[in-house]
Amino acid sequence: MARRKLVAGNWKMNGSRAALAELDAIASAAEAAPNVDVAVAVPFTLIAPAADRAPGLAIGAEDVHEADSGAHTGCVSAAMVQEAGARFTIVGHSERRADQGETSQDAWAKAAAAHRQGLNVILCCGETEAERNAGRAERVVQAQIEKSVPDNADGSWFTLAYEPRWAIGTGRTPTVDEVASIHAIARAKLRMLIGDAADGVRILYGGSVTGENAAVLLAVENVDGALVGGASLTAAKFVPIIEAAAGL
């Protein structure tokens, strides 16, 4: 099945209103690449101004709470980010799992909450370096997918992102064969869980994606795009990744 490439940026805890000027060139690059979907997840404080400034881009949140509302001080619900202009959210990011102790069950609940509010979801999975060195990468990813993916997931709103934790922000990436192997395993696991709908689900690769390595990574079978961290903060680094996706 042919799946459109998706290049999604994740600004993490970076950015300011002044930084939103970077979206101008990113939006122009997206317009010049009609065969590619482009999305940018920004901090909660920037969702509304980003959506106003770049209506042609899919602006999203970096996380949501699993409850629709309630006594959850400091948390933000899917309904809130949707009202602010978000079209999607990331859930289960490895930094949330590592720093905030989130589990795959938490990611499942957040994905379900986001879908209830009409948001698209990018759900992340990936192993640590210790898990890979112990030969457990495949089992870890399969277990995370099994516990995180909602039963009603399909490609109209759901995207999976494989991000080996040890590659995030380090400049290191798995080999092409390693990426191909995990993405094939992820696709097979999705088919076990949601049947034929799995063929419509995009699987992104994330972890030190740059303009230099994007074309090689995005050409791998079952790699349907990229989840980009630091390189998405500036148009100078993000646009070449969009262009690489457009050229495939």
* Residue numbers belonging to the annotated binding site for substrate: 10-12, 169, 208, 229-230
Q: At 74, is the secondary structure helix, strand, or coil?
A: coil
Yes or no: say if 113 and 80 are a contact pair by the CB < 8 Å rule. Answer: no
- For the chain, the first-to-last Cα distance in angstroms comes to 15
Binding-site entries: 10-12, 169, 208, 229-230
183 is catalytic: no
Is residue 93 annotated as part of the catalytic site, yes or no? yes
Task: Considering the candidates 65, 93, 115, 183, report the single residue annotated as catalytic.
Answer: 93
CA distance 27 to 114: 25
The set of residues, in sequence order, having a beta carbon less than 8 Å from that of 94 and lying 6+ positions away, is 124, 126, 163, 165, 168
Count of C-beta atoms within a 10 Å radius of residue 9: 27
**Run of H or E including 48:** helix 47-53
Beta strands 88-91 and 120-125, pairing class: parallel
By annotation, the residues acting in catalysis are: 93, 163
